[in-house]
Amino acid sequence: MFMTPITKYIAGKDTIPTFKITSLGNYVEVIETIAHEWRQRTRDRRGDGHLSDGRFPGEMVPWFRGTTSSRYLLEPTLLRDDQLLIRFNQNRESIQILEDYLLKRFKFGGRNEFSRLKVKRKIDWIFLMQHHGLPTRLLDWSKNALTALYFAIRKQKEKEDAAVWVIDPRRLNEACDLGRNIAFPEDNRDARLDEYYYLEPRTSQHTYPIPVITPPFLSERLAAQQSRFTYHTDERSALDRFAKTIARADNCWYLIKLIIPSHRQPQILQTLRLVGITLPDITPGLDNIAFEIRHRLELGVDY
């Protein structure tokens, strides 16, 4: 366990904390420290410190996002400087036109496939579009720290450090004026989601991304990955702004970046395999089972 708090905000420092990971054990240790500090901050902030056993309802579980490059920003696909999308994502009007087009074409093209799904809310259609590779204003996270780590390092890019981002979704939810409860949301959450879809967030002074959970019937793959999402407006770098603003107010960072150096990735990936984290476990499907069998042949007796 780290001897000094790793989420403490240092006055005048607007840089999101970054830590280098050297092994799977080190990764788990850092996450355990972060979660412990965030739980203590929650108790202090909410006045729950009087509880005799130090517990409070609703366990604080961080969300994790793995990226194959530590240089990647926390921006959804639709807001990135992609050569194709940059023509459409420069203002709210063009973003709305693009999203309406994508949604209509997606619904029409998959009407037979979607007839068995009970999709009613617009956000559920957005979940499906994200899952099948269309650009959206959703950013993927997972409640499973090992899943995020696997996706960060599985490609093992040469001389490219990977990263796992760690966020406190309940603190983000509070900053969006939606309380701490995410799994069983407040009555106004659906209305807020609609406002975000139409890019008219008016019920709150904040436009931080909203943390949301996918409904279980949409995809077995999303369930297996314990997928979570943040839903963004048209504002870029919104999670950075949340982290810096709340850090100044709470004297604590609720967004942490863990760097996995390229030379450490092969060994960490092998350790993940030893504890049962492989592609078919995270992403069910025959193609991934075949990939795993081929991978076993490549590894042979050398590992």
Contacting residues for 192 by C-beta, under 8 A, at least 6 apart: 176, 178, 201, 203, 204, 210
Confidence of residue 295 (pLDDT cuts 50, 70, 90): low
Distance CA 81, CA 79 (A): 7
Q: Is the pLDDT of residue 25 over 90?
A: yes
Mean pLDDT confidence for 224-238:
87
pLDDT recorded at residue 140: 93
- pTM equals 0.86
Burial track 67-104 (b if 16+ CB lie within 10 A, e otherwise): bbebeeebbbbbbeeeeebeebbeeeeebbebbeebbe
| Chain mean pLDDT for the chain | 83
Confidence of residue 220 (pLDDT cuts 50, 70, 90): low
- Could you read off the pLDDT of 39-80 as tens digits, one per residue? 988 887 766 544 444 455 556 789 999 999 999 999 999 999
Distance CA 82, CA 80 (A): 5
Percent of the chain at pLDDT > 70 equals 78
Of 121 and 63, the structure prediction assigns the larger pLDDT to: 63
- Kindly report which listed range (17-31, 113-127, 193-207) carries the lowest average pLDDT score: 113-127
pLDDT recorded at residue 139: 96
pLDDT recorded at residue 47: 64
Q: Quick one: angle between helices 265-274 and 24-46, nearest 10?
A: 80
pLDDT recorded at residue 90: 86
Structure tokens at 35: 């979660």
State the amino acid at position 255 in one-letter form: L
CA distances from 196 to 56, 128, 137, 199 (A): 31, 17, 9, 5
pLDDT recorded at residue 64: 97
Mean pLDDT confidence for 149-176:
91
User: In the beta sheet, which residues pair with residue 227?
Assistant: 142
pLDDT recorded at residue 191: 83
pLDDT recorded at residue 184: 62
Task: Reduce the DSSP state of residue 202 to 3 states and report it.
Answer: coil
Mean pLDDT confidence for 8-36:
94
- Kindly report which listed range (3-7, 26-30, 57-61, 119-123) carries the lowest average pLDDT score: 57-61
Q: Is the pLDDT of residue 84 over 90?
A: no
pLDDT recorded at residue 160: 92
